[in-house]
Structure 1
Amino acid sequence: MGFFRSLTRLPDPTRFGFSSTSEQGGKILFGGSIIDSEGNFVQPSIVEIAPSAQVVKGELFGPVLYTLNEAIEINNSVPQGLSSSIFTCKPEIIFKWIGPHGSDCGIVNVNIPTNGTEIGGAFGGEKATGGGREVGSDSWKQYIRRPT
């Protein structure tokens, strides 16, 4: 999955939110800890928890796996909506995820992580995250002053 820039910026840096998961009735089936080495790496982990748990409603910054319909339902039920991603090689799953009844985020990715953007791409979210499209093709105009 990659590393985290800073473990101190996580809400529960000592356990990457896994203690919150346990407190809210979830079970850590695999992993669940920070790798003790240079860098900020977290073990790949599998957690089982109810979709209604508060920890699920936050920005997880990690992969979430359900059946596709459950994934779409849970993805769309949270207050945030900046970006989402799905990893698959099946075109029918891709089209469902990016379609009108799929992810309702501002940026919907396929087979790439949710972080990053490219210049000229309209980067912004929906719902409680994102307040516009800061990196659209005309965004540079806010930094210049036209001569008269």
Structure 2
Amino acid sequence: MKDEIKGILDKLQNGEISPEKALKLIKNIDIKNDFDKIKPARKIKILIIDGDDHKKIHLPGIPFGLVSFLGKLGIIIAPLAIKNNRNIDPKAREALKVIKEINLKEIFDVIKAHGSFDLVDVISENDVVKISIL
């Protein structure tokens, strides 16, 4: 698929085809076969290194089933835990209402469908934050 698109873009750049024709050709490329080859992701892995404080958090691959279960549990428990807490920030209360509406299964299904990739990969002089989908 990448070679087909590259060929179309080369023809466009050389003036052999119009932008409209290039768009039509790219739209007609069968990308379904490429997605069929992707192995669905099964885990999320987190690595955080705080170089200044010499602290490291390295969580092994956690299955999405467990992450989903814990997320649902948190969405259920959080409102109960703060229900009678008068000291909670009003914005936090509003955020919890929004979080309650989130469909974690839908989010995880989309993430898993894309196979393995780095969701977050930030490296600074002393610090590292990496969240990988495996």
Shared fold per TM-score greater than 0.5 = no
Higher relative contact order (CA 8 A, sep 6+): 2
TM-score, normalised relative to structure 2? 0.22
TM-score, normalised relative to structure 1? 0.21
- Which structure carries more strand by proportion? 2
